[in-house]
Amino acid sequence: MVFAPLEDHQGLIELVLFPRVWKEGGGWFEVGKTVIAKGRLDRERGEPNVLVEKVTDQIEKVRVTARP
pLDDT in tens, 11-65: 889 999 999 999 988 888 888 888 888 999 999 888 899 999 998 888 777 677 7
Query: In this predicted structure, what is the pLDDT of residue 65?
Result: 75
Query: In this predicted structure, what is the pLDDT of residue 64?
Result: 74
Strand order in the sheet with 49-56: 2-8, 11-17, 49-56, 36-42
User: Is 0.75 topped by the overall pTM?
Assistant: no
Angle at 16 between CA 6 and CA 56, to 5 degrees: 70
Residue 7 amino acid letter:
E
Query: In this predicted structure, what is the pLDDT of residue 68?
Result: 65
